[in-house]
A and B are shown apart, each in its own frame.
Chain A
Amino acid sequence: MNRFAWRQHRKQFLIMGVALALFAALVIPTGLHFWHVYQQALTTCKQNPATPSCGDLSGNLLQSNIDQTLLHLLPLSVILLPLVFGMFWGAPLLAKEYAEGTNSLTWTQSVSRRKWLTVKLAWVLFATALFLGAFAALTTWWSKTPNTLNLNRFGVEAFFASQGLVPVAYGLFAVAFGIMFGAWFRKTMVAVGLVLGLFVACTLVTVPNFVRPHYMVPITVTAPMGPNLLDNKIPAGAWTVSRNIVDKNGKTLNSFSPSDMPTQCAQLTQDIRVPDGSRVAKLKASGIDPVDDCLNNAGYHQIGKYQPATRYWDFQRIESGIYLGLAALAVCATYWLVLRRDA
């Protein structure tokens, strides 16, 4: 069965191998280039700390159009890679056999359906893990520069989802569900559509926005009203889950417009436009926003929640575990569909 599985799938493995080689050809030189630019900047700043750009390396390095395009598009495309596996490897795996009737050819050779399915699943799932592992490893290595420069691999979805363990878990999830939908509906296009819908809904929308923030209880910080006061309390590299303004009763404000403010503070937003009130002028001179000052006096403050950078690998592991669990469910369902239903 193994030899036949290899014969059946070697073409798609070959195509993916070429894709991986092309990806490496893009990632390795640009990754080296980014790292080189960063190291050079560090050396310059050490020798000559007065260089203007040294105060804000992340705002000054790698700002060319091509660098910025790469930094944005590459992680995004890696996020979509698991979907490609799900659509092109998972969905047709069984759907095509059913649609072309070739399942009745292989199922009447001297191999049990269970063994046939096990070998097929093993090959495709193993190859998915292997290839996505390679893609993810290359992306993680490539992201070393932006990771250290911007400290945003945890908080920015495109960076979190394109590095570490999760791309492999997403891939196994997408492929397993593609296979399951194919066995269920027996039509490749239906399975492709369903896997696309599931991946967009689950991996791109629901999990990062509504599920991931709750893997561990976030750390809460409070700060008075004022620019940067809250941000300064959130350590670098952390993922800021939420930031809100609450009134003196602890009630979270849905919007922050003058109508939500106490009247005296709301009036100040008017006064600023006509800056002739003496109190306003005095505050402004001391660098304090009169509205913030008014709100602080009225008991308003800011609340932020964040997941510290130290939890990054915990989150990678938890999310991978969830996706692997879902993939396992899909594999079980596939066994049930293939073994219990008629050809």
Chain B
Amino acid sequence: MGATAIQTKDLGKRYGSFWALENCNISVPEGSVSALVGPNGAGKSTLLKILVGLSTASDGAVTVLDKTPLQHADFLSDIGYLAQEIPLYRSLTAADHIAMGSNLNQRFDEASIRKRLDELSIPLNRPVGKLSGGQRAQVALALALAKKPKLLLLDEPVAALDPLARHDFLSSLVQAVAEGGLTVVMSSHLLADLERVSDHVIVLAAGKTQLCDDIDTVLDEHWLLVGPRGHTGSLNAGIHIIHETHTAKQSTLLVRIDKGTKVPTSWQKQEPNIEEIILAYMGQAKEGGVR
């Protein structure tokens, strides 16, 4: 892929003596849809807030669309952000929010957002507090998209939605991505959903980056090795164990294999799916315990 939309170097965020995010190194290519996954408290929201300039980093460097995140119109106009609780002014209507958007942005596609909400049959003149959760999420997404952003950051947007609303939301997202020119980073717990829409994955656990790569590359590099128990010592240097499970007789290893490394014949190679790989990385961070 071409240019990078987001680049962080040793990014850290400290609250008091607690590091919510530490040595975070990610690189997000332009035009990709990145899944940001990790357990609760992994620092996903913290990272997204730093990327949009709502929080300031305590350590390290961050570049977003070739700029340093700043609460400034030049920077903000290229970024759409949807916070975790999908905040909207509950007593104001969707139409009020559209008016707000066109009032607070130099570039705001009022016609398209009206059309989009109309297609979804979301009433414009009802206070958004009286809409369903799914409708609110759609309003919030439409608001973010109407800014015509180059980068869209979504913090667990579907967490509170029922399966149907979730499906609709992701469809809207996929449609927006298909229209082109948009880079998306979306955090979620729902791995299956992410797999559906994303082509790039960032695993964050215990405040650190565990994995950050294109899904295709990740799938190419990772293997499940099944072999007799107690033979892990026989593996060569280019094979990195991410996660291992053992039964009485055999061991199952999830490994990352460097290019060109041969696997000993005593091990049987299987293709893991992305979900297994992500879980393995999250498990690894957990076993790593106190860093």
Contact = CB atoms under 8 A, between A and B. Distances in A.
Interface of A: 1-4, 7-8, 100-102, 104-114, 339, 342-343
B85 interface: yes
A8 B143 CA distance: 17
Given A3-B103, A342-B49, A108 B90 contact: no
Contact of A110 (B56, B84, B106): B106
Contact of B103 (A4, A100, A342): A4
B72 interface: yes
A286 B115 CA distance: 99
A4 B100 contact: yes
Contacts of B106: 110
B85 A3 contact: no
B147 A101 contact: no
A166 B83 CA distance: 43
A151 to B, nearest CB: 49
Given A110-B147, A113-B71, A343-B49, A104 B87 contact: yes
14 contacts: A4-B103, A7-B92, A102-B87, A104-B54, A105-B140, A105-B143, A106-B104, A107-B54, A109-B101, A110-B73, A111-B73, A111-B76, A342-B54, A343-B49
Contact of A112 (B73, B81, B89, B143): B73
A113 B75 CA distance: 12
Given A7-B99, A110-B76, A342-B54, A101 B87 contact: yes
Given A4-B99, A7-B99, A111 B89 contact: no
B77 interface: yes
Contacts of B42: none
A interface, over-half SS: helix
B104 to A, nearest CB: 4
B89 A101 contact: no
B107 interface: yes
A2 B55 CA distance: 25
B194 interface: no
8 A-B pairs closest in CB distance: A101-B87, A109-B104, A343-B54, A110-B77, A342-B55, A108-B81, A113-B71, A104-B83
A105 B56 CA distance: 17
Given A107-B54, A110-B107, A111-B104, 18 more contacts: A1-B104, A2-B103, A4-B100, A4-B103, A8-B89, A101-B84, A101-B85, A102-B89, A105-B87, A107-B71, A108-B80, A109-B104, A109-B105, A110-B76, A110-B104, A110-B106, A111-B76, A112-B76
A105 B96 contact: no
Contacts of B285: none
Contacts of A3: 99, 103
A109 B100 contact: yes
B88 interface: yes
A108 B99 contact: no
B125 to A, nearest CB: 14
Contacts of B5: none
B147 A1 contact: no
A101 B83 contact: yes
B79 interface: yes
Contacts of B107: 110
B76 A108 contact: yes
B71 A102 contact: no
Nearest to B75: A110
Contacts of A102: 87-89
A112 B71 contact: yes
A171 to B, nearest CB: 25
A38 to B, nearest CB: 48
Contacts of A108: 52, 54, 76, 79-81
Given A3-B99, A110-B77, A105 B88 contact: yes
A306 B235 CA distance: 97
Nearest to A342: B55
A107 B76 CA distance: 8
A170 B83 CA distance: 38
A339 B85 CA distance: 22
A341 to B, nearest CB: 9
A1 B80 CA distance: 18
A177 B255 CA distance: 59
A100 B104 contact: no
